[in-house]
Amino acid sequence: MPIIKSSKKSMKKDRQRREYNRSIKNETKTGIKKINELINQKKEEEAKKILPHIISLIDNTAQKGVWHKNKVAREKSKLMKKISFK
């Protein structure tokens, strides 16, 4: 445990950021899993309806600094490729 006051504050802020980032990551990953399940179950129309919402979730993770922009581009590309080939 830190002794210096600024280190304590920094530790508290780190914890808050970690929880915030974790919640955003979980929401995004859940959306990606949901659309992948729909694709695997051959429910392409439902997947195409949900796709814009999932892409906006993915974009928000980059905008909020949780994921790097290249990771966001890679994830969006994978989803688009899966939907277009099936």
CATH at 10: 1.20.58.110
Contact 79, 51 (CB under 8 A): yes
Tokens of residue 13, six digits: 């802020």
What is the pTM for the complete model shown?
0.84
Read off φ and ψ for residue 64, nearest 5 degrees: -85, 0
Residue 38 domain boundaries? 5-85
72-83 average pLDDT score: 94
Cα separation, 36 vs 43, whole angstroms: 10
The two tokens of residue 3 are: 């002794």
The answer to whether 62 and 69 have CB atoms below 8 angstroms apart is yes
Whether pLDDT at 86 is above 70: no
Average pLDDT over residues 23-39: 96
1 in Cβ contact with 31 (< 8 Å): no
**Predicted pLDDT of residue 64:** 94
Q: What's the whole-number mean pLDDT along residues 22-36?
A: 96
Number of domains in the chain: 1
